Amino acid sequence: MTDFNKILDQVYKETLANADTGKVARYIPELAKISNDKFGLCLLDAKGSRVAYGDWEERFSIQSISKVFGLALAFKRIGNKLWSRVGVEPSGDPFNHLSLLELEQGIPRNPLINAGAIVVCDILVSEFKDAKKEVLQFVRSLTNDDSIDFNFSVAASEKATGFKNYAAAYLMKSNGNLNNPVETVLDLYFHLCALEMSCSQVATAFFPFMNHGRCTQNIQHLEVNKIKRINAIMLTCGFYDEAGEFAFEVGLPGKSGVGGGIVALLPQQFCIVSWSPGLNPKGNSTRGMYALERFTTLSELSIF
């Protein structure tokens, strides 16, 4: 039996001592206010036991981690029709890249870059009367926690400054891959990014992705086959132009966000979540990358 307590204790201390703290994202004004000293770690194993360190209970802006929830809800709702609107190939580009050739054809490379997540939001807006409420309800049901909510100041901050997302949305709109008004679709997108959760809550929300679709309450939220596909997309596309590096260093499917969160999982074994707001130049948490590399190296647990 792996002693997660001992390993996480070592990872936490080593990371604080050795890892560069990176730079907090400044392009979203509300995120720039967060202290760079924060660092939390939480591991949830397949039996439901938790090991946690540091600021693991503090809620942070999960940002692009939420793209997985949007994807899961859209896939659950419309099934394989989803793939006629968005691809499944890694982009090798930054998260907000305007890959003109692809966007001119209207089909973004994958659902975990901004353009792809915007298409997913368009699908959700078409499918549900109140898509924002539906997404929130979905995340609350995955975690069995109704206290989870959007941070409305963060959503407003992005609405006021997210010009590249408007550009991507208008390009796709002009090429026929957005069926709803850009403002409506981006309103959902910005709220999705502004979901606020702790390391512990994110770990619980990803439990079904580690556990063949069943949450900690043993409710089946997604079919096994869909979980397989979402985890594959996380592995190949979850870290933008650092997806290869993350697979190489850590060796787990996962997803990062510019709020400094990273979630990664080993099917049937554990979900692990780190939060430290300082980012590397590719927009991934520096301490998070360091901590997860140490964790899979020390525990000898990865998909490889």
Q: Which residues are annotated as a binding site?
A: 64, 114, 158, 165, 189, 240, 258
User: Does the footprint of ligand GLN cover residue 118 (CB under 6 A)?
Assistant: no
With residue 263 as reference, give the H or E element that holds it.
strand 261-266
Applying CB under 6 A, among 15, 21, 96, 276 the residue interacting with ligand GLN is 96
SS (H, E, C) 51-120: EEEECCCCCEECHHHHHHHHHHHHHHHHHHHHHHCCCCCCCCCCCCCCCHHHHHHCCCCCCCCHHHHHHH
The yes-or-no answer on residue 51 being catalytic is: no
The yes-or-no answer on residue 240 being catalytic is: yes
Residues 239-298 that bind ligand GLN (CB under 6 A): 257-258, 283
Applying CB under 6 A, among 110, 114, 143, 157 the residue interacting with ligand GLN is 114
Of 11, 51, 67, 226, catalytic: 67
Nearest to ligand GLN of 70, 213 (CB atom): 70
Of 258, 276, 299, 302, catalytic: 258
Q: Which residue is nearest to ligand GLN (CB)?
A: 64
Which candidate, 255, 64, 68, places its Cα nearest to that of 154? 64
Instruction: Report angle CA 140, 191, 235 to the nearest 5 degrees.
Output: 70
Per-residue binding letters, 49-88, with ligand GLN (x by CB under 6 A): --------------xx------------------------
Residues 177-196 that bind ligand GLN (CB under 6 A): 193
Burial class (CB within 10 angstroms; exposed 0-12, middle 13-18, buried 19+) of 158: buried
Query: φ, ψ for residue 21 (rounded to 5)?
Result: -90, -10
Instruction: Kindly list the catalytic residues.
Output: 64, 67, 189, 240, 258
